[in-house]
A and B are shown apart, each in its own frame.
Chain A
């Protein structure tokens, strides 16, 4: 998802006998669906795992602005441009909510940004794919934000209060993202044959990267168990992926586009769509840094940070001078 392959600080789940009294009391609170708040006692591994997950989630929001920002100046109409601008601005806000949530655990935003820039933290694999044309922008809003919503709706019930509140706020804004994307794709799918072909091409290229967003299959997802026990994660990767496929297939059909995976088929017995696995080797390769855009994305982030340094420093110097002057008066 926006947070993929988060390594829980330990492997396996602690059973009650292994827990200290404090840990047992903590687990009981989680099991009663009580929210954990910043100043509450929490196991070190819970804190570390959360910082990693919220940090990666925040980085994804911010890096996710790049593939879309790429098309702001080339949007087909002024209205689409204004809409895309508002969406990309939302993503900056979402990044901020999540950095703020991570900061409640004592990790500063600048520190998280530094770890990202040094390649020691990651962001979602999806943003290492390019947006080649306008149809991709529609498909990103519809499929990528659509996948994010599936994950984030579940995370509204996550056990850490500030994370849960950030998710609730983000979900409210996110449906605008998915709808504007689908609306843009609708116009193309119902447009000229050339436009329809572009829409089809975008769906074909982005489908597998989108379903990769949920992370590896549960059988391969070795670090999930403790996160599930702590309700840092609420649903498993495969559960969320199935939910996304089930809701998206009818949307593709409505557009009159071909399904991007010949393996997609309604399974009467399961009551769900069957679908093909994405190429997991590609997924792991992208995570490792070898996707089509990894190098560019990170470079753009680092450049933006460094190019903006004089603004940050200047405003801070001004603020300090002003408060020194007020103190002197």
Chain B
């Protein structure tokens, strides 16, 4: 069995009500150490108030080759954007 510590992806939420954001990865033997290491590596300058650690093997990712078909449904629906609709200036801001 490999003695390499597993890889964890680290997500941090900053102070201003933003959602958790991926900041990088690190190695740790378990979740508890992953969070401690994340504190030392990614919050040395008050970057965050909350840390999520997810073992990298548990992350499912979309593949770049499928980019076209995957996002096609949204590309073809321009009417989802508010600018699709011309509203006369007289109506005021909307």
Contact = CB atoms under 8 A, between A and B. Distances in A.
Nearest to A100: B25
Contact of B30 (A37, A103, A173, A319): A319
A243 interface: no
Interface string B1-19: 0011101000000000000
Contact of A319 (B4, B24, B29): B29
Interface size range of chain A in the complex: 20 to 34
Interface string B29-59: 1100100000011001100000000000000
A37 B41 CA distance: 23
A318 interface: yes
A316 B7 CA distance: 13
A97 B25 CA distance: 8
Nearest to B37: A96
B20 interface: no
A173 B5 CA distance: 27
A313 interface: yes
Interface on chain A toward B: helix, strand, loop, or mixed SS? helix
B33 A315 contact: yes
B41 A96 contact: yes
Interface in A37-54: 37, 39-41
B29 to A, nearest CB: 4
Contacts of A96: 24, 26, 41
Given A173-B45, A319-B29, A322-B30, A100 B64 contact: no
A318 B29 contact: yes
A93 B29 contact: no
B86 to A, nearest CB: 32
Contact of B26 (A100, A315, A316): A100
Nearest to B26: A96
A93 B64 contact: no
B55 to A, nearest CB: 11
B63 interface: yes
Contact of B7 (A86, A97, A103, A322): A103
A21 interface: no
Given A96-B41, A97-B24, A109-B27, A312 B63 contact: no
A315 B7 CA distance: 14
Given A39-B61, A319-B30, A312 B24 contact: no
Contacts of B33: 315, 319
Contacts of B24: 96-97, 100, 165-166, 169
8 contacts: A37-B64, A39-B63, A96-B41, A100-B25, A109-B4, A173-B44, A318-B30, A323-B30
